Amino acid sequence: MKSFATLVFLPLVYATGTGQVPLSGELSFGEREYQKVCPDGKGTGEEAATGSTVTYHCDTFPSAVDPPAVAGIRSIEDCGRVCEGTPDCGGSLWVKSDGTCWISRQQFRGGSISPGYVFMTARQQSKELEECKAEHTQCGKDLEACDSKGKECEKNLTSCKTDLVDCGKAASTYKTCAAKENGPSECASLGQVATYKNKRFRMYCGQALVPVSYAWPTLSFQECMDRCAGEDKCKAIRYIPSTKKCDLSTHDLNVVPSAPLSGDKLSAEKLHS
């Protein structure tokens, strides 16, 4: 492989220009094609019709080129496409001075600054590559969405754990009350404060609240507590396990001793925060 410093002195039989001598004041073929892609000395990308993207490296000379010059080149665009179908082609070189085109079989790693030369590298476009890029972009979007959902799930998990603790406290309080059979005097949880869904309740075993404002039939104890905890107007509840009746009050709790009913009544007063 020879350096271009030697190749530029090859006979012009290898040149690809028109062979015509330009009139005075006119640009030569090589100069005219050079100005098409490097009017300001900067490289630009151009889509080739065959599906490759050619990048022009203006005023750049590669480390070496292979003789002879490529025949049949009619434009600098043609020169940019000579690597298509050429094994081990690293790029092509356009020479402004004589309009010749050369192949370099070395992969371009940057070249020396050489005014009047254009080194061109081509990147093949493929359906598979474009699909891969689109999938990569979508993957990034999906990852962001997944991260967002993950953070939301973590928040929900924390909330669920808090609710589970509150639910356990409320259920424990109810079981303690329901286990007593001799009225409020023997109710171990009389006056006990329990927290449910961030609302604090004072529990009263074997006692009934008055007056009842509205009721929900066939609710579990936890559902009854949930109703009151979630409604600002609810001030207290009375729950009757035997009938699963949930009585709610919009007034402050007024408890009165009731006859021993095997722990069949449970009242809870919502405390002010």
Min mean pLDDT across 58-62, 127-131, 175-179 is at 175-179
| Bigger pLDDT: 20 vs 77 | 77
Q: Ranked by mean pLDDT, which of 44-53, 117-126, 141-150 comes out on top?
A: 141-150
What was the pLDDT predicted at 257? 55
- Over residues 84-116, the pLDDT tens digits come to 878 888 899 999 999 999 999 877 766 678 899
What was the pLDDT predicted at 15? 35
The full DSSP string for 11-78 is -GGG--S--PPPPTTSPPHHHHHHHHH-SSS---EEE-TTSEEEEEEEEEE-S-BBSSPPTT--SHHH
Q: For the chain, list the domains and their CATH numbers.
A: 4-129 (no CATH), 160-270 (3.50.4.10)
The residue among 100, 77, 141, 119 whose CA lies nearest residue 16 is: 100
Confidence bin at 79 (pLDDT 50/70/90): very high
- What is the spatial distance between Cα 230 and Cα 176, in angstroms, rounded to a whole number? 24
Q: What percent of the chain has pLDDT over 90?
A: 14
The residue among 134, 66, 144, 143 whose CA lies nearest residue 105 is: 66
What was the pLDDT predicted at 13? 31
The residue among 194, 195, 193, 191 whose CA lies nearest residue 204 is: 191
| Bigger pLDDT: 10 vs 257 | 257
Q: How many helices (H) and strands (E) does the chain have?
A: 5, 13
pTM of the model: 0.39
Looking at the predicted structure, is the pLDDT value of residue 189 above 60? no
- What is the spatial distance between Cα 194 and Cα 271, in angstroms, rounded to a whole number? 10
Q: Among all chains, which residue has been given the structure tokens 């100005």? A: 35
